Every structure is written in C-alpha cells, then in structure tokens.
C-alpha cells in the first residue's frame, strides 16, 4: 500500500514538472534583419533578409516590402520568399527612376508579422538641365541642354522639346541632337511671333525619357525683347519652377533685373491664380494673376509675405528700407527713376527720353491690378505707363509700401501706400 502511494506521489511530481516546462515555451513573432541595398538601377535593386529567429513557431512567409512612404508593410509592394533558408537575397523590381524608396524585411509565423529596421535608397535617373535661350530672332532661337549624368544607362536620344503648353514632352515639337552626355545646342525654328512657348531639354535611355527644367519665352522680333544695359555685367538666378532671371549688383545690393513670374512658393506649393475681379478683391490670402509674361506676374501682398516665400532660395522681397537704400544710392527718389527704367519707347510710352538704365535695374511699365479699394475695382492699369513693385513692409492694416516709376515723370521713383489686395509686380533682392 505504501508502495502504491509512493508511485502516485512520484507521478504527480513528474506531471507537475512537465506542465511547468510546457508553460515556459512562449511563442512570439519572428526576428528579422535586412541587408544593405545594392545593385541599384533606375528600375530595380537588390537586398537581403536574415531570419534571426522563428519565434518558436513555424515560419509561413518572409521577404522584402517597399514603398515611397516610410515604414512599408506587406500591404505595399513586396517579394514573397516563403519559409526558405534563414538568409536569402531578393530582387526589388518595378521601380520608378529617380525616386526615393523605403524598404523593410518581413517574416510571418503563426503569431504574427515582424519587420526589420527601415532602409532607404534612391533609384538612378539621368541628371540634366535646360540651357538658357539665346540667338533670338522673330521665328528662330537657340537653346539646348547639358546632360550631367546618364543615370547608369547610355543616353540614346537627346534634344529640346517645346510647346505652347507647360511641361512639353517629346510628343510635342522636338529637336534631334545626338546621343551621350554633355552639353548640346538646339536650333529651334517655326516659332510664331507673340506666342508663349515652353521649352525643356530631354534625354532618353533604356529606362525612359527624362526632362530638364522648363524655360519659357514670348517670341517677337521687337516688342518683347527687353533692352538690358549692354555696358553692365549681369548674373542669373533660378526660381523653384526653373525660371531664370537676370540679376544686377547696384551698390551693395544685388537685385533681380526682371520681374518675378513664379506660380509656386519656394516649397513647391501652388500660388492660386485668381481671374475674377470680385474674387480677387475679396482675398486675404496669397494669389497671383497673369497680365503679360515679359512683365512678370502680379501678386497681392499676402503672397509677398507668405512664410513659404515666393522668392528663390537665398533671395527675398525687399523691405521699404531696402528700397530706400537703392534709391539713395542712385541719388534719391527725385532722380532715381531715370536710372532704373529701361531706355527707349519699345515698352514705355513717349516722354521716356531721359531714361538711362545706368543701374541695370531695367524697370518695365507692366502696370498693376486694382481691387475693391479702387473705384476701378479689379481692372488693370494699361501697360506702358507705370511700373510698380511691392515691398514687404506694411504701412497700415489695409495697405503696404510700394515703389513705382512713371512714363510721365521720368525722374521720380514714387513711394506709395497701396491696398494689399492690389496686384503688383515683384522684384527680389539677394539675402
């Protein structure tokens, strides 16, 4: 009897120990790491997965997942490598050239899905720029491109494409300028005078066709050619849209020698284009409107002071005090106007005989757009009479300071307080 009791006692102890051991086996999600991304092209790359631990449960699948957004999951693009070995290499395909991707390894068991740390890489793409227009006549001009990098595959076609619409492609008018990297010049013909054209250099390789920055131009043998001072040396600056402006140093300051014509803030956000007079006059947020490309766009003051900035990087809209530095350097407001204005009467009306443009500023009479605060609500001041430019300085709750030049008083660059809802030109000043 004592022997039976002893056996039962021993069996109970063993069963209890076995039960405790079983409780200690805890199943968890796998542990997985990702290998460095390599063999990057414009459309593919390689990486690898290491399954460090199966988490105590049978593996069901593993692979790589990727996206253009951070922290990709298996709901995004992915490879499926099965349970496989603990270490394997996987191809990442179907990518877009010149794009940044985020990638993670994943592993799945019955408990759940685990991810590795995130890696990132950018696919290759040709790097190219559009070369500024030159050699302009009424119907012919020269432009071109510079292909800085082929993106990993030989350039098999290159040239310039153009259209009367923005973002032209090789399906529009185009030139054929050979193959390979480096600079090239294109002869563009068949231009219609007085029409706005948009140009981009392009380069084609095995992975597709890629485009440079966009330039724009209004063709006309006379009226649309700005008369910059030929005795001065001008620089250039490019805005966030790729528009290129001549710049000029005047005293200690460096100014744009052309009016601003961007349709986007520096961060890429669009500036609303407002056409209707009533809508324009009621705004208290940034907007622009189009009057004539050669004179630049008109902006209300709210666009001028927007924190996203309408000026190119390294530039800003001048304050009233900075305008005063300019006019003081040119001898004061009573004579500064003649030194600022473009010479001749191609753009200015008659009585512009005393204009010298000795500063190189090349002021043009683009006019301006009125608002409700004018009896001519929303209408435009005709071109040829006045050029006006915003400062970033407020004069009162409803108005801000501007500077102007006039055809009828060539010796004065006026300082005026104008309603913030007016549409006025902008010249930018280097920081």
pLDDT at position 412 is 60
Query: Who's near 265: CB < 8 A, 6+ residues apart?
Result: 240, 271, 286, 306, 308, 309, 310
Ranges 46-60, 75-89, 258-272: which has the least confidence = 75-89
Q: Strand 182-188 relative to strand 235-238: parallel, antiparallel, unpaired?
A: unpaired
Phi, psi of 384 (to 5 degrees): 105, -20
**DSSP code of residue 308:** T
Domain around 409: 235-430
Please give the residue that has the higher pLDDT: either 334 or 424: 424
Q: Are residues 192 and 242 in the same domain?
A: no
CA distances from 296 to 67, 259, 306, 382, 388 (A): 40, 5, 19, 14, 12
Q: Strand 173-174 relative to strand 100-109: parallel, antiparallel, unpaired?
A: unpaired
- Average predicted confidence (pLDDT) for the chain: 85
Distance (Å, whole) CA 394 – CA 405: 20
If we measure between CA atoms, which residue out of 162, 159, 209 comes closest to residue 184? 159
Beta strands per DSSP E along 135-181: 141-149, 157-163, 173-174
Measure the CA dihedral 394/397/399/400, to 10°: 0
Q: What is the mean pLDDT of residues 296-322?
A: 95
> Across the strands, what pairs with 134?
142
Q: What is the mean pLDDT of residues 111-130?
A: 93
Q: Are residues 243 and 334 in the same domain?
A: yes
Structure tokens that stand for 431 in this block: 């920081």
pLDDT tens, position by position, 225-237: 688 888 899 999 9
Helical (H) or strand (E) element with 5: helix 2-24
Q: How many CB atoms lie within 10 A of CB 227?
A: 14
Hey, is 324 helix, strand or coil?
Answer: helix
pLDDT at position 222 is 45
* End residue of a domain, out of 122, 140, 168: 122
- Answer yes or no: is 313 within a domain: yes
**∠ CA 15-18-21, rounded to 5°:** 150
Counting the structural domains of the chain, the total is: 3
Distance (Å, whole) CA 187 – CA 20: 86
If we measure between CA atoms, which residue out of 269, 296, 300 comes closest to residue 285? 300
Please give the residue that has the higher pLDDT: either 77 or 143: 77
* End residue of a domain, out of 218, 244, 266: 218
- Answer yes or no: is 185 within a domain: yes
- Answer yes or no: is 213 within a domain: yes
Q: CATH number of the domain that 55 lies in? A: 2.60.40.10
Ranges 128-142, 226-240, 328-342: which has the least confidence = 128-142
Q: What is the mean pLDDT of residues 80-102?
A: 86
pLDDT at position 240 is 86
* End residue of a domain, out of 122, 147, 165: 122
Say yes or no to pLDDT of 318 above 90: yes
- Answer yes or no: is 225 within a domain: no
Q: Are residues 68 and 178 in the same domain?
A: no
Ranges 146-155, 263-272, 289-298, 332-341: which has the least confidence = 289-298
Helical (H) or strand (E) element with 78: strand 77-78
320 falls in which pLDDT band (50, 70, 90)? very high
8 falls in which pLDDT band (50, 70, 90)? very low
Q: What is the mean pLDDT of residues 423-427?
A: 95
Say yes or no to pLDDT of 319 above 60: yes
pLDDT tens, position by position, 407-418: 776 556 678 899
**∠ CA 50-54-55, rounded to 5°:** 130
- Answer yes or no: is 212 within a domain: yes
- Answer yes or no: is 9 within a domain: no
**DSSP code of residue 202:** E
pLDDT at position 224 is 54
* Contact assessment for residue 194 and residue 220, using Cβ atoms and an 8 Å cutoff: yes
Ranges 4-13, 338-347, 362-371: which has the least confidence = 4-13
159 falls in which pLDDT band (50, 70, 90)? very high
Say yes or no to pLDDT of 361 above 90: yes
């Amino acid at each position: 009897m004592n022997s039976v009791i002893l056996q039962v006692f021993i069996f109970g102890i063993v069963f209890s120990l076995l039960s405790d051991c079983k409780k200690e086996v805890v199943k968890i999600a796998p542990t997985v790491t990702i290998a460095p991304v390599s063999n990057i092209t414009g459309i593919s790359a390689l990486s690898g997965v290491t399954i460090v631990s199966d988490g105590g449960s049978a593996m069901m699948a593993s692979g790589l997942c990727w996206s253009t957004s951070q922290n990709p999951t298996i709901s995004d693009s992915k490879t499926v490598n099965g349970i496989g070995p603990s270490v394997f290499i996987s191809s990442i395909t179907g990518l877009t050239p010149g794009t940044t991707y985020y990638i993670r390894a994943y592993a799945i068991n019955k408990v759940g899905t685990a991810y590795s740390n995130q890696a990132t890489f950018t696919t290759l793409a040709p790097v190219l720029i559009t070369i500024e227009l030159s050699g302009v006549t009424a119907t012919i001009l020269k432009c071109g491109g510079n292909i800085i990098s082929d993106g990993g595959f030989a350039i098999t076609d290159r040239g310039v494409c153009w259209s009367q619409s923005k973002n032209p492609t090789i399906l529009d008018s185009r030139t054929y300028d050979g193959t390979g990297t480096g600079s090239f010049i294109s002869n563009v013909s068949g231009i219609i005078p007085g029409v706005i054209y948009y140009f981009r250099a392009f380069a084609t390789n095995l992975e597709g066709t890629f485009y440079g920055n966009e330039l724009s131009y209004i063709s006309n043998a006379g009226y649309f050619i700005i008369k910059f001072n030929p005795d001065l040396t001008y620089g250039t600056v490019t805005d966030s849209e790729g528009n290129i402006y001549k710049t000029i140093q005047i005293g200690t300051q460096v100014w744009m020698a052309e009016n601003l014509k961007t349709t986007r803030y520096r961060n890429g956000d669009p500036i609303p284009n407002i056409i209707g007079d009533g809508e324009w006059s009621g705004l208290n947020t940034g907007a622009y409107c189009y009057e004539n490309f050669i004179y630049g766009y008109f902006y209300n003051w709210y666009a001028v002071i927007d924190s996203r900035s309408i000026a190119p990087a390294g530039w800003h809209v001048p304050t009233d005090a900075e305008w005063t530095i300019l006019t003081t350097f040119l001898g004061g407001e009573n004579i500064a106007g003649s030194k600022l204005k473009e010479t001749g009467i191609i753009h200015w009306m008659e009585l512009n005989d005393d204009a010298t443009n000795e500063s190189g500023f090349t002021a043009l009479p683009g006019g301006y757009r009125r608002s409700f605060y004018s009896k001519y609500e929303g209408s435009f001041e005709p071109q040829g009479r006045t050029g006006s430019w915003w400062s970033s300085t407020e004069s009162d709750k409803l108005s801000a300071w501007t500077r102007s030049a006039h055809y009828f008083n060539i010796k004065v660059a006026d300082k005026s307080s104008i309603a913030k809802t007016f549409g006025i030109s902008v010249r930018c000043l280097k920081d």
